[in-house]
């Protein structure tokens, strides 16, 4: 991981470490901010004529690609000390824009506002670690670019089994897959077995959910595997993984349902895969384990549970 982008080292309390001196809270829906961001590796990615030819005329004329993101999900999408969006997801989006000969404009919003913004045309794409699910495919289409799974973390020295968590308090970021699919199923299973249900603590941002475990407010946290592994790495041994990664599924870039932009984004991602830019971005952030060899569309229906 690039040292200049890491959350500050442990000093004082674990809560201070997790929030550092960066405000990763998402602004309200009416206060979204725009910024052009991305690493030099991503922003200097060359154009792809075949992908550009697939762009809707309105986007070519505008010259910009509006990207909705919830910048509170390190290392995928988060903020630097100046409040600008960074992360490997931001770098991928920036490289896509470069391939399409467009200038990226990142609009930071709450996670659950992004898909409605794509549907309503407020942003062109949503790049915010969306797990591609059948339910979400009813609202938008997804260009798949990464394979992730669900991973739990718990305080070091404890033993937490995600498959036997009845009676525990578990933190999640609200409206994520873990909040809307994984945890309701686990809570229902506890109730059906006559066991004490899981107490679910729901937070607006992932850093707040992880912080709840760091300060002893929750017994465990569940999130996408790269996010959990990154968080553990920043906490200097305070948290450990709990159980194995499971519910492997693709990440998807959200685009309007049956939008003409869908094929252009797919072609841009495939171009990044083919020339090695995509792999270099993932390696730069130490998340290469989930890389794909082909950009697909709406692969959520075939995801492995």
Lowest mean pLDDT among 145-154, 174-183, 225-234, 244-253: 225-234
The predicted structure's pLDDT at residue 300:
87
Split at pLDDT 50, 70, 90, the class of 235 is: confident
- Quote the pTM value: 0.78
Lowest mean pLDDT among 38-52, 120-134, 174-188: 38-52
Kindly state whether residue 154 falls inside one of the protein's structural domains.
yes
Q: For residue 115, give its domain range.
A: 3-148+250-300
Please count the structural domains in the chain: 2
At how many degrees (to 10) do helices 261-275 and 277-284 cross?
Answer: 80
Kindly state whether residue 200 falls inside one of the protein's structural domains.
yes
Tell me: the pLDDT tens digits for 101-135?
999 999 999 999 999 999 999 999 999 999 999 99
Tell me: the pLDDT tens digits for 132-146?
999 999 999 999 999
Kindly state whether residue 305 falls inside one of the protein's structural domains.
no
Kindly state whether residue 177 falls inside one of the protein's structural domains.
yes
Kindly state whether residue 218 falls inside one of the protein's structural domains.
yes
Kindly state whether residue 12 falls inside one of the protein's structural domains.
yes
Do 52 and 81 belong together in one domain?
yes
Split at pLDDT 50, 70, 90, the class of 28 is: very low
The predicted structure's pLDDT at residue 271:
97
Kindly state whether residue 117 falls inside one of the protein's structural domains.
yes
Tell me: the pLDDT tens digits for 236-274?
889 999 999 998 999 999 999 999 999 999 999 999 999
Q: Is the pLDDT of residue 68 over 90?
A: yes
Q: Is the pLDDT of residue 61 over 80?
A: yes
The predicted structure's pLDDT at residue 148:
93
- CATH number for position 18: 3.40.190.10
Do 216 and 262 belong together in one domain?
no
Q: Is the pLDDT of residue 210 over 60?
A: yes
The predicted structure's pLDDT at residue 123:
98
Q: How high is the mean pLDDT of the chain? A: 87
């Amino acid at each position: 991981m690039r040292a200049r982008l890491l959350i500050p080292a442990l000093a004082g309390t674990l809560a201070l470490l997790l929030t550092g001196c960066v405000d990763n809270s998402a602004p309200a829906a009416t206060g979204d901010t725009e910024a052009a961001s991305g690493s030099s590796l991503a922003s200097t990615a060359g154009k792809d004529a075949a992908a550009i030819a697939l762009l809707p005329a309105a986007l070519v004329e505008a010259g910009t690609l509006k990207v909705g993101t919830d910048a509170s999900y390190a290392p995928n999408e988060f903020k630097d000390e100046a409040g600008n969006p960074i992360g490997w997801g931001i770098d991928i989006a920036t490289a896509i824009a470069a391939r399409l000969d467009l200038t990226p404009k990142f609009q930071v919003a709450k996670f659950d506002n992004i898909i409605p913004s794509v549907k309503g045309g407020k942003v062109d794409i949503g790049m915010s670690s969306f797990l591609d699910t059948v339910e979400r495919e009813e609202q938008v289409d997804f260009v798949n670019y990464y394979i992730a799974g669900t991973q739990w973390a718990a305080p070091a020295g404890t033993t937490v089994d995600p498959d036997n968590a009845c009676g525990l308090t578990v933190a999640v970021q609200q409206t994520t897959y873990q909040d809307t699919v994984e945890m309701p199923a686990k809570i229902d299973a506890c109730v059906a077995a006559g066991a004490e249900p899981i107490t679910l603590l729901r937070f607006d941002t992932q850093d707040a959910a992880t912080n709840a475990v760091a300060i002893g407010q929750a017994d465990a946290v569940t999130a996408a595997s790269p996010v959990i592994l990154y968080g553990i790495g920043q906490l200097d041994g305070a948290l450990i993984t709990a159980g194995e990664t499971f519910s492997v599924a693709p990440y998807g870039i959200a685009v309007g349902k049956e939008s003409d932009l869908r094929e252009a984004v797919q072609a841009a991602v495939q171009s990044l895969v083919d020339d090695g830019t995509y792999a270099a971005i993932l390696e730069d952030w130490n998340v290469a384990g989930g890389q794909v060899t082909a950009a697909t569309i709406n692969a959520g229906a075939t995801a492995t549970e």
